[in-house]
Amino acid sequence: MGYCTDWCTTKADEIYHNTEWGRPLHDDRKQFEFLMLEVMQCGLSWQLMLKKRAIFHQCFDNFNFNKIARYTATDIKRILNTPEMIRSERKIKAVIQNARAFLRVRKEFGSFSTFLWNYTNGKTIF
């Protein structure tokens, strides 16, 4: 398979490119994961996010926004002390605050996916 860019330099990059990148998504948990990967990525490379994805899953309860919304200072400390984790307290706090906001959106719209897809009347825009 040909690649549209030359950034696929690892197996993780290739898997992400071939199975996730640019695909329409309607799953709230997965949408939350991608948004939080963007939070963690700020100032860093996307390849690093893919490399650390398993650590993020471990630290953030597989991106379970219901659990993350209830995180406390103890959880922030646990995450900051996890080996291989990006040690940015501000980013970790942002993930927690975003989980709380995510729940408010879900409460109002029924799902985060519905909220997002309403902007395009449920259609993919190319």
Q: Establish whether 33 is a catalytic residue.
A: no
Q: Establish whether 7 is a catalytic residue.
A: no
Backbone CA torsion sign across 51, 95, 86, 41: positive
Q: Establish whether 117 is a catalytic residue.
A: no
83 φ/ψ sector (left φ>0, alpha ψ -120 to 50, else beta): beta
Do 60 and 36 form a contact (C-beta atoms < 8 A)? yes
Please state, in angstroms and rounded to a whole number, the distance separating the CA atoms of residues 46 and 41.
6
Please tell me which residue in 3, 7, 20, 38 is annotated as part of the active site.
Answer: 38
Please tell me which residue in 16, 33, 84, 117 is annotated as part of the active site.
Answer: 16
Please tell me which residue in 46, 84, 89, 117 is annotated as part of the active site.
Answer: 46
Q: Which sequence positions are flagged as catalytic?
A: 16, 38, 46
